[in-house]
Structure formats: structure tokens, C-alpha cells
Amino acid sequence: MDWDKLRIFKTVAEVGSFTHAGETLNLSQSAVSRQISALEDNLGHPLFHRHARGLVLTEQGEILYHAARDVFEKLKDAQTRLSDSRLLPEGLLTITTVDFIASSWLAPKLPEFKALYPKIQMRMLLDDRLYNLLRREADVGIRLQKTEQADVIEKKITTLRFNLYAAKSYKKKYGLPKDLQDLKNHIMIGHPEGLETPFVRPNWIFNTANIEPENNPNVMMMNSMSVRYSAVKHGVGVAVLPDYVGRDDPELECLFPDLSIPGVDMFFVYPQERRNSKRIAVFKEYLFEKAAR
């Protein structure tokens, strides 16, 4: 069977149209269509039902797709294992984490890591959703909650501590809350209820200060810690931020430093089958060394 046609078929099956498959593969829509027609002729079976709204796999197409997916996953696994067996750490390392961890905690550590391991190519997937490491959507994850996946290795890196912060410009304009109950008289910034969140109870302070966010003009919701941090810096309002961000920012002032806000554990996660990967090993060793300082 022609591997190139099989690769094109797999892409079409996953995106559901010749046009989108062509964009993914950098081919014209007509070229993709010709390859699929040729594959159907070779097999003697139609692989797709053609509809105005897209393509749907036939029964024979489903059989071929599952076989093709398994084959390409095994080839990818073999390629990764061959790469992992090199004497020196090199090649692609895909890391998944949330945006604010990548921008404020991880990014400052990367220049030294790249200097130590220049042949490791780094790719980052920044999202609150959890990528499936077992399906090779990423090599490692830096996560803010324990994983529910089996067959992964999970090591705690550190515990993130939080506190309430406001900008000095906000203080100059509005003053600062006298106590927790006074927070309801200030502009509070939180995480939208019901949306995916990188860690549990992101709006802990609302419950503690008896603030009802629903239909409250003093509450602003933003589903990005990075944006909440930027909003606080610009004097928009008060928000809970990681201490490693707030304490080093001269524009911010910590409110109620004795307030005990629950910490969030940060974990380094990777598949059990990748335990011998040199790229993962040196990255893990480097991050744990930095976190211990």
C-alpha cells in the first residue's frame, strides 16, 4: 500500500474535508481528492460518504482509519525511541503547561537550559486543557493538579504560594481594603465560573470574603492568570497572584500578608514508557535543581 496515500487518507479522515486536509498537508484540494480516489480504486471500496457538509467514513473507511492510526502511532513511537537512544540529548521536546506558568515561571529559566543543551528543540503547548501524554500529544507536562492518567510518572516540583495584590496606582486612586470584608467594596478580579481552570478553587478569595460574583459590577472575570496579572499591574483591581510574581514586582503591593491562601502543587509529568528519554531526564533534572534554590 502506498504510504503517502495512507498518510493523506488519515489526515482527511481526521479533519473531515479535502480542503482542510490540503491546508494541513500543503497540497491542493484537487491533489488530495485524486489521491483518495486512487486509494479507493486500489482497495476496491469507497472510503468516504461525500456530503455537502463534509466527509464521513464508510464502514471500510473506519477499518482502514483505525489500522492507519495504529501504524503511524507505532512509527512515531519507534522514531521517538530511536531519538531517545542517542548518546547526547537532542531532538524535539514538546512541553505542555498553562500560559502563566510558561511566561512567568518557566521562560526565565530557558536561556540557561538552551545554553546547556543547544541541540534540544523546544516546543510549548500552552493551554488549560490537559494534553494526553500517552497519545504523544506532548512529551512532558508541567501541571497544577495531580494527573488521573495511568502509566505516567508524576513528580512534585514545588508548591506555589499565593497572596492578594494591588498596584500602587490602584492604591493612590481607590485606597486599599481595610480587611477581608472590605474587599467587596473594591474591584476584584477572578476566574470565570464554569470554565476550565488549571487548578482547583481559583476563586477561593471570593468565598472567604463573602463576595457574590454574579451580577456584581465590582467583579471582573478573566480566564488567564497572565491577563489578571497585567490588569493588576495597570491598576484595574485586586487579584490573587502567585507570590513569585507579586513579591518581585515593585509596582505591586501585597495585601494581608498573613492571609493563608491554599497553595497549589506543581507537578512534572511524563509517560512511564519515556523514562529512559535523555531529553526528558535533563529537562526534569534542570527544573528540579532550579526549583530547589
For residues 112 and 244, state if they share a domain.
no
Instruction: Look at residues 83, 118, 141 and tell me which one is the last residue of a structural domain.
Output: 83
Q: Which of 215, 179, 222 lies closest to 197 in space, CA to CA?
A: 222
pLDDT computed for residue 87 by the predictor: 56
- Write out the residue range of the structural domain in which residue 232 sits: 162-262
Q: What percent of the chain has pLDDT over 70?
A: 96
pLDDT score of 82 = 67
One DSSP character per residue, 9-22 reads HHHHHHHSSHHHHH
List, as one string, the DSSP characters of 46-76.
Answer: --EEEETTEEEE-HHHHHHHHHHHHHHHHHH
pLDDT value of residue 85? 57
Cα 288 from Cα 220, distance rounded (Å) = 35
DSSP state of 192: P
Residues counted in the chain = 293
Global pTM reads 0.69
pLDDT under 50: residue ranges of the chain: none
Helices (H) and strands (E) in the chain, counts: 11, 12
Matching residue, cell 464502514: 59
Q: Based on the fold, state whether residues 182 and 243 are members of the same structural domain.
A: yes
Q: Are 187 and 70 contained in the same domain? A: no
Nearest Cα to Cα of residue 143 among 109, 102, 192: 102
At 54 the pLDDT is 80
Say if residue 280 is in the same domain as residue 219: no
Q: Are residues 8 and 78 in the same domain?
A: yes
pLDDT of 148: 77
- The reply to whether 180 and 248 lie within a common domain is yes
Q: H/E element holding 246?
A: helix 243-246
Last-in-domain residue among 83, 98, 115: 83
Same domain, 173 and 149: no
- Which residue is it, cell 477572578? 190
pLDDT at 248: 86
CATH number at residue 76: 1.10.10.10
Question: What is the predicted pLDDT for the residue at 83?
Answer: 65
Kind and range of the H or E run holding 84 = helix 59-84
Helix axes 278-292, 59-84, angle to 10 degrees: 70
User: Do 251 and 235 belong together in one domain?
Assistant: yes
* Grid cell digits, residue 279: 531529553
Count Cβ atoms within 10 A of the Cβ of residue 178 and give its class: 0-12 exposed, 13-18 middle, 19 or more buried: exposed
CATH number reported for the structural domain that contains residue 235 in this entry? 3.40.190.10
Question: How many distinct structural domains can be found in the chain?
Answer: 3
Give tens-digit pLDDT for 260-282: 999 999 999 999 988 888 899 99
What pLDDT is attached to residue 198?
A: 82
The reply to whether 137 and 272 lie within a common domain is yes
